[in-house]
């Protein structure tokens, strides 16, 4: 397949590009390098020393013999370049990672809220619009988030995107299939719920074929491809904005600090290893929706854990202590989370679990690169609201 990866230099995009390239697909990466520029703004770097994108691509050519093309532009700003790229590359499929993806970053200030809304919504609309204008039948795969569901609504299992509900009015009633009601917890998550409405509309009106992946929290750093050379290493974020809870625990323990749990640690989250992210996108690309099919939604996650259980797992491997802090997010202190993920499992995903992969993160990433860490950056400083 000819595939364009929008946001292909990022944490999920880069390993996915290599995974798909190794499988023999023709890969174009489009990226505005915004994630690297945000590192400069936040005065922090990936713990792992990532190479510039051109060097990454040259190295991949050396170790695999395969070409990847890189185009540097901003799909949220440069519609005409985007349209020309679609027309020239004639992709069979595009994968859309080109969104600001950190909830705490999206809540830092008004400027960050406005940037996240403007970037994420225009990127998604421009991409849908350019595919329609090109006239080609291109499968759009989008990396969404489990966060569109909110956490643990009603205590029932979260389905894959759609919900059957019963409407009642007096003694009349009707069955209806709806998108799972949106319940976003941050500006970032809100933009992903708004993305769902772009997809719903362009699918309905223009018959765009779309797969939307509602992904859990990604953990792990390396894949079989990124391990093949130091220049291919993937990023590892540990700062308060972009670092996930697990990565911050890993860094705290490597530095000999206590692990900081917000609130009671009773919040349950869904997780998936970065290797499985790449594999899921492969599966999504190999199983596109049919013509006239509604938007296909997969829950892209493997297992759920409570935050305090994560802290305990890291503590057991490293003997780190655990301390509890006030939670800056507006959310319930404790929640259950039951998620359906039948689609990927039935399509052949053989997932990596936390119990299998956590030790590698401790030794090969956190311990190995801890001298590069800026320990002042580990705590989250965004306040969700003043209300």
- Helices of type H across the chain: 13-22, 34-42, 53-64, 79-89, 103-106, 110-134, 187-206, 245-254, 274-286, 307-318, 342-346, 354-360, 368-369
CA-wise closest residue to 127 among 292, 4, 17: 4
Name the residue with tokens 């990127």: 123
Provide, rounded to whole angstroms, the least separation between the CB of residue 194 and a second copy.
Answer: 4
DSSP string, 80-138: HHHHHHHHHH--SEEEE--S---HHHHTS-HHHHHHHHHHHHHHHHHHHHHHHHHT---
Residue 13 CB, nearest approach to a second copy (Å): 24
Mark the segment that binds a second copy (CB under 8 A) among 5-13, 50-58, 108-116, 362-370. Answer: 108-116
40 vs 174, beta carbon nearer a second copy = 174
Site string for a second copy, 71-100 (x = CB under 8 A): --------x---x-----------------
Choose one: 1-9, 193-201, 212-220, 299-307; the region binding a second copy (CB under 8 A): 193-201
Q: Binding to a second copy (CB under 8 A): which residues in 142-181?
A: 153-157, 163-169, 172, 174, 176, 178-179, 181
Residues 197-236 contacting a second copy, CB under 8 A = 197-198, 200-201, 204-207
Place of tokens 């936390």: 354
How many angstroms separate the CA atoms of 18 and 14, rounded? 6
362 counts as binding a second copy under rule CB under 8 A:
no
**Residue 89 beta carbon to a second copy: minimum distance, rounded to whole angstroms:** 18
Strands 268-273 and 303-306: antiparallel
x-or-dash pattern for a second copy, window 24-43, by CB under 8 A? --------------------
Q: Name the minimum Å distance from CB 236 to a second copy.
A: 29
Distance between CA atoms of residues 85 and 91, nearest Å: 9
Number of residues that bind a second copy (CB under 8 A): 55
By the rule CB under 8 A, 380 interacts with a second copy: no
Q: Which of residues 316-335 bind a second copy (CB under 8 A)?
A: 330
Tokens of residue 259, six digits: 């692990």
Judged by CB under 8 A, which stretch of 22-30, 189-197, 275-283, 308-316 contacts a second copy? 189-197
| Region from 9-17, 90-98, 111-119, 224-232 binding a second copy, contact rule CB under 8 A | 111-119
Minimum CB separation from a second copy for residue 108, in Å? 12
User: Which of 242, 277, 246 lies closest to 259, judged by CA?
Assistant: 246
Q: Is 65 in the site for a second copy (CB under 8 A)?
A: no
In this structure, which long-range contacts are made by residues 322-325, counting pairs with CB atoms below 8 Å and at least 24 apart in sequence?
Answer: 322/258, 322/259, 322/261, 323/258, 323/259, 323/260, 323/261, 324/260, 324/261, 324/262, 324/263, 324/264, 324/265, 325/260, 325/261, 325/262, 325/263
Q: Is 299 in the site for a second copy (CB under 8 A)?
A: no
Please say whether the beta carbons of 16 and 4 come within 8 A: no
How near is the Cβ of 209 to a second copy at its closest, in Å? 11
Closest to a second copy by CB, 51 or 132: 132
Q: What is the x/- site pattern for a second copy, positions 120-139, by CB under 8 A? A: -xx--xx--xx-xx-x----
Distances (CA, A) of 386 to 12, 82, 328, 330, 372: 33, 39, 10, 10, 35
CB of 3 to a second copy, least distance (A): 23
In angstroms, give the least distance from the CB of 381 to a second copy. Answer: 17
Could you tell me the sign of the dihedral formed by the alpha carbons of 100, 367, 56, 65, in that order? Answer: negative
Which residues 6+ apart lie within 8 Å of 361 measured at CB? 219, 220, 221, 246, 250
Which residues are catalytic, by number? 145, 188, 192
Q: Which of 2, 26, 118, 287 binds a second copy (CB under 8 A)?
A: 118
What residues make contact with a second copy under the rule CB under 8 A?
A: 79, 83, 110, 113-114, 117-118, 121-122, 125-126, 129-130, 132-133, 135, 153-157, 163-169, 172, 174, 176, 178-179, 181-182, 184-187, 190, 193-194, 197-198, 200-201, 204-207, 330, 384-387
């Amino acid at each position: 397949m000819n595939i364009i990866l929008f946001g292909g230099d990022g944490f999920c995009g880069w390993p996915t590009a290599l995974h798909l390239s190794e499988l023999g697909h023709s890969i174009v990466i489009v990226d505005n390098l915004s994630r690297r520029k945000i590192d400069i703004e936040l005065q922090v770097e990936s713990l792992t020393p990532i190479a510039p994108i051109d060097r990454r691509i040259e190295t991949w050519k050396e170790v695999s013999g395969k070409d990847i093309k890189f185009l540097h532009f901003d799909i949220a700003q440069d519609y005409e370049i985007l349209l020309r790229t679609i027309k020239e590359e004639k992709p069979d499929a595009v994968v859309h990672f080109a969104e600001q993806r950190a909830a705490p970053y999206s809540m830092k200030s008004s400027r960050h809220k406005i940037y996240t809304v403007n970037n994420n919504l225009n990127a998604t609309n421009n991409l849908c619009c350019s595919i329609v204008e090109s006239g080609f039948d291109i499968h759009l795969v989008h990396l969404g988030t489990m966060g569109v569901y909110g956490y643990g609504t009603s205590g029932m299992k979260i389905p894959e995107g759609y919900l059957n509900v019963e409407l009642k009015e007096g003694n009349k009633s009707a069955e209806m299939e709806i998108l799972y009601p949106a319940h976003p917890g941050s500006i970032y998550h809100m933009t992903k719920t708004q993305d769902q409405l772009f997809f719903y509309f362009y699918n309905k009106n223009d018959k765009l074929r779309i797969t939307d992946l509602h992904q859990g929290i990604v953990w792990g750093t390396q894949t079989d491809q990124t391990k093949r050379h130091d220049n291919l290493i993937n990023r590892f974020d540990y700062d308060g904005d972009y670092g996930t809870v697990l990565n911050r625990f890993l860094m705290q323990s490597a530095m000999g600090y206590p692990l900081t749990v917000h609130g009671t640690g009773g919040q349950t989250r869904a997780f998936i290893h970065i290797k499985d992210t790449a594999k899921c996108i492969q599966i999504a690309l190999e199983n596109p929706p049919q013509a006239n099919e509604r938007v296909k939604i997969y829950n892209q996650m493997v297992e759920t854990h409570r935050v305090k259980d994560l802290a305990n797992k890291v503590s057991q491997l490293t003997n780190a202590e655990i301390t509890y802090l006030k939670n800056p997010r507006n959310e319930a202190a404790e929640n259950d989370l039951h998620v359906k993920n039948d689609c990927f499992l039935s399509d052949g995903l053989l997932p990596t679990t936390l119990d299998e992969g956590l030790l590698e993160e401790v030794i090969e990433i956190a311990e190995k690169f801890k001298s590069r860490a800026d320990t002042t950056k580990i705590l989250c400083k965004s306040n969700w609201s003043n209300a």
